[in-house]
Structure 1
Amino acid sequence: MATIRRLDPADADVIPALTEVLRDVIAGGASVGFLASDGTTELDDYWRGIFASLGPALALWIAEHQGQVVGTVQLAPCQRSNGRHRGDVQKLLVHRSAQGRGVATRLMDAVEAHARASGLGLLVLDTHSGSRAEGLYRNRGWLAAGSIPGFAAVPDGSLIATTYFYKQL
């Protein structure tokens, strides 16, 4: 079973492992903000930027199994005065070798528990319409707010629809 751990800036030594998880989900065709042509430098730079942003505006968790990082998720609480009751769940990523083992569920458990403890009452996220992730969110009580066709590109550059979800805590 995977262990879930919240990271802080001092944990930046896991960037290579996070890059490997990101590279794997991209290779699997997931729409996660990157194209197949993006290299290690772009992926590492992304994670360095995430670590530089950790704090009140961004939280990051990883899932580890047998010493390996197999998943990750982020929570970005809204920083605007009219939105401090909500947060944006971002980059739920699970290495293909660990999918189907409850890793995504455990990561979402951690995010939702942290959000509740932080006083957030609403979470939002978006995902590739028709993806396996949609089923995960629906099974956890998330509601679809709507879908936008051609919103994002999958790694090969093809445009796909994105569905926005929300959950009131």
Structure 2
Amino acid sequence: MTGYQPDPPVFLLTSAEMRTSVGALGTLLKACVEDGAGIGFILPLGQEKAEAFWQKQVASVENGSAFLLVARENETIAGVVMLALAPQDNGGHRAEVAKLMVHPHHRRKGLARKLMAAIDGLALSLDRWLLVLDTVTGDRAEKLYPTCGYQKVGSIPDYAYGSHGTLDATTVFYKDLR
């Protein structure tokens, strides 16, 4: 585990904290997918499947190959973002930003920006200075990332099925933290 501590309301979860938060994380994931978020799931998404996703992520947090930041409002997990370290020998300088989501009831409060600022600090604390991510083309997040310093690389058509079962393009971004 890194010694990095983000500024509240963002917190870095340990694997033990993550295990005890699987229900809340599942609720967040389910709400975001039901609201149309393109984060790897197709509707309908049951609570059990949403929790199973997070349960699988615990091992990555436990072994240090991924990290989970959460934004809290009144002790409720209102948003999350993951940092997955590149596992390749030649990728020790980079990481992927994944699963940025803010519960629909907690949007428009700056939590996504706070999570993205915290992910930069976390990455730098781990000597990772090149961040990559992708998002559904046309999604509201596509407008957010450039305002957080990300550069658009391009789009890939028909990349993945969206939450409603139709193929969506994805837009790829990167950020150099040096």
Aligned match of 1:40 in 28, 37, 47?
A: 47
1:128 & 1:81 partners in 2: Cα distance? 29
Q: What letter matches 1:5 in structure 2?
A: F
Q: What is the CA–CA distance in structure 1 between the aligned matches of 2:120 and 2:94, rounded to whole Å? A: 11
Whole-Å separation in 2 of the counterparts to 1:93 and 1:80 = 27
| Alignment partner of 1:6 is 2:16 | no
Residue aligned with 1:45, SS: helix
Aligned partner of 1:128 among 115, 130, 136: 136
Partner of 1:51: 58
Residue deviations 1:40-98, cap 9 Å, x none? 22111110011122132100011110121100000011121111110000000100111
Distance 2:129 2:9 in 1: 26
2:172 equivalent among 158, 161, 164: 164
Q: Which residue of 1 aligns with 2:98?
A: 90
Residues 31 and 104 in structure 2, CA contact (< 8 A), matched pair in contact too: yes
Instruction: Name whichever of 84-93 and 109-118 sits farther off.
Output: 109-118
Q: 1:38 offset after TM fit, Å? A: 2.8
TM-score w.r.t. structure 1 length? Answer: 0.96
Alignment of 1:85-164 (within 5 A): 85-164=93-172
Work out whether residues 22 and 55 of structure 2, in 8 Å CA contact, stay in contact via their aligned partners in 1: yes
- Report the counterpart of residue 68 of structure 1 in structure 2: 76
Structure 1 segments unaligned to the other structure (5+ residues): none
CA deviation digits over 1:2-60, x for unaligned, max 9?
Answer: 61111111111111111111011111111111111232221111100111221321000
Alignment RMSD: 1.3
Structure 2 distance, partners of 1:120, 1:71, is 23
2: CA distance, partners of 1:13 / 1:121: 31
Q: What residue identity is the alignment partner of 1:35?
A: I
Work out the CA distance in 2 between the residues paired with 1:137 and 1:25: 18
Which sections of structure 2, spanning at least 5 residues, go unmatched?
1-7
One-letter identity of the residue aligned with 1:23: K
- CA distance in structure 2 between the partners assigned to 1:96 and 1:147 by the alignment: 26
Percent sequence identity is: 36
- The two structures have a TM-score, normalised by structure 2, of 0.91
